Chain A
């Protein structure tokens, strides 16, 4: 049962019990507030806070769709985050394969440059990027500013550095003999990548996809500047409930929950892969 061979002393067990209990409370309280408030009538959330609802209602879950165009925001977020994830993973797989399997001039420069973009404050390139998108739009007619395409392009680069970095570690752990065998069998380098390396690195790829999706689903700064009414994503749209004269806290909590459940459920289902991916790749 236990990892380390000695049974832990009582002091360890007691401190563990106290620590984990307090931490559970700290983590759970906001989750409880979100769930319970989403089932309360409006009077319960505008008056003094109460731990238990005076009555339970699913009204907020019906009203959220008409107070703001939540369904449209939802679809936008789904398209943007989904497309950004797919593109980011495919591009990261190619780049990581190149770095992991080939030696070429500029390899170190590439990895260092890509990783260092993680350091850039988003605020530094927000305005220049906005200008670039507007200029590309004027010059070529491809609308990047205000469109989902522009947002997809932006978000996929946000997750790219971490994804490449993690996949390099992961691909390095896949034995080279395997792709050499595939090459002998007549696969091209891409065949070896897709038939041998990618299947062996599935946990790492799932982990990277989860990370990319969460990054795109939760981003606020660029979403608030680069979208308009039709392309608005949930990150911005959800603030629509708070700027009205009445603050419908029960609806805000219901909408937050509806928006969170897919991501949290997906994350918890796939977290095994994330830990495995981190263990094999990034943390090594």
Chain B
């Protein structure tokens, strides 16, 4: 194969410029090694920051890791499944609190993801066609997403203040909807406050992704549908929404994982101890680990959380992919 005009495939495998001359096959090891070499930095960092810590985290969950052993965690005694037993004993305070936090998080996540998706999709579809001011509106809608989480949430904290906040001023003083100023960051209202902030911050991401997805729908589809006499709403139902399915499959999953794991929003909104009605699981585990210094139990809770997310993700992908395959067939 040492002809002067080599086949394309061989050129691609070759890396010219090696010592033996441009047409010679470079060492097999180099050829095979290159992709691995390119992946190495990413791989090493993922190992260091994600995978190794995860394995250690799982090991910790089987240890009695209290503050006495934190200087050298390897010396902490193994205690088998005790941490797990404690976490899922729903009759004891620790397990009961975890279950409550889990249920709050599930409700919060379903509502938040649902609303973010709905608002984002609606806005993207309404803005699919050009109209005056569309560019400006699009930029404005992306602002909540572009703002650093903590500045956005701090602003909402100010708005939710009991005495000097905007929300009470509008609801109580101006509209007279509530009899007296409400507390938003403690008590039952805190769930509504958390949901509001989360949706305000999260919907532009759905908007962004759906907007990108809409640009990939061929215009000919709409033209053909219009020729067949399909109206706007029919085009929406028959073309737009079905075409968005693959985008939605990923979008909903990503929104779900981010919202379920969200720590920043509740942490900045409520501080280290969240009110019971808005006790999201990540803050709950943080508190169980760092405030009570019981890292073994905290790790066990994290592992349970990870298992739950794996299960949901796996089930979700299986269900949605299967649905798509049958639809294609």
Contacts and interface: CB of A to CB of B under 8 A. Distances in A.
25 contacts: A3-B129, A4-B128, A4-B223, A9-B231, A9-B233, A31-B143, A48-B173, A91-B45, A104-B36, A117-B50, A118-B254, A121-B261, A123-B298, A124-B53, A132-B48, A132-B56, A160-B45, A161-B46, A184-B11, A220-B150, A220-B264, A267-B142, A275-B212, A282-B209, A283-B216
Interface in B1-57: 8, 11-12, 14-17, 22, 32, 34-36, 38-39, 41-43, 45-46, 48-54, 56-57
Interface residues of B, number: 109
Given A19-B123, A238-B150, A275-B211, A27 B282 contact: no
A183 interface: yes
A172 interface: no
Interface stretch (B81-89, B91-99, B161-169): B161-169
A128 to B, nearest CB: 4
Interface of A: 1-6, 8-9, 12, 15-16, 19-20, 23-24, 26-31, 33-34, 37, 45-50, 91-92, 94-95, 97-99, 102, 104, 107, 110, 113-114, 117-129, 131-132, 153-154, 156-157, 160-161, 164, 176, 180, 183-184, 186-189, 214, 217-221, 224-225, 234-235, 238-239, 242, 249, 252-253, 256-257, 259-260, 263-264, 267-268, 271, 274-275, 278-279, 282-284
Task: Rank and list the top 6 A-B pairs by shortest CB-CB distance, nearest first.
Answer: A125-B53, A128-B53, A124-B302, A267-B146, A256-B151, A98-B38
A238 B209 contact: no
A246 B315 CA distance: 50
A121 B166 CA distance: 34
B186 interface: no
A256 B143 CA distance: 14
Interface of B: 8, 11-12, 14-17, 22, 32, 34-36, 38-39, 41-43, 45-46, 48-54, 56-57, 60, 73, 119, 122-123, 126-130, 137-152, 154-159, 161, 163-166, 168-169, 173, 200, 208-209, 211-213, 215-216, 219, 222-223, 226, 231-233, 235, 247, 250, 254, 257, 261, 263-264, 267-268, 281-282, 285-286, 289-290, 295, 298-299, 302-303, 305-306, 309-310, 313
Nearest to A114: B46
A156 B295 CA distance: 26
A27 B208 CA distance: 15
A30 B145 CA distance: 13
A244 B164 CA distance: 17
Contacts of B42: 91-92, 94-95, 114, 160, 164
Nearest to B9: A180
A121 B243 CA distance: 32
Contacts of B128: 3-4
B200 A27 contact: yes
Contacts of A104: 32, 35-36
A250 B209 CA distance: 35
A68 to B, nearest CB: 13
Contacts of A132: 48, 52-53, 56
A176 B247 CA distance: 26
What secondary structure prevails in chain B residues at the interface with A? helix
B146 A120 contact: no
B255 to A, nearest CB: 12
Given A27-B144, A123-B261, A275-B212, 8 more contacts: A4-B235, A94-B41, A110-B43, A119-B257, A125-B50, A128-B56, A132-B48, A275-B211
Nearest to A15: B126
Given A119-B313, A214-B146, A256-B154, A23 B60 contact: no
Contacts of A129: 49, 53
Given A4-B219, A123-B263, A125-B57, A94 B38 contact: yes
A278 B116 CA distance: 18
What secondary structure prevails in chain A residues at the interface with B? helix
B302 A121 contact: yes
A222 B150 CA distance: 13
B208 A275 contact: yes
A225 B250 CA distance: 31
Contacts of A249: 158, 164
Given A3-B130, A110-B43, A128-B60, A30 B152 contact: yes
A125 B188 CA distance: 31
Contacts of A284: 216
A157 B49 contact: yes
Nearest to B14: A183
Contacts of B161: 49
Contacts of A31: 143
Nearest to A161: B46
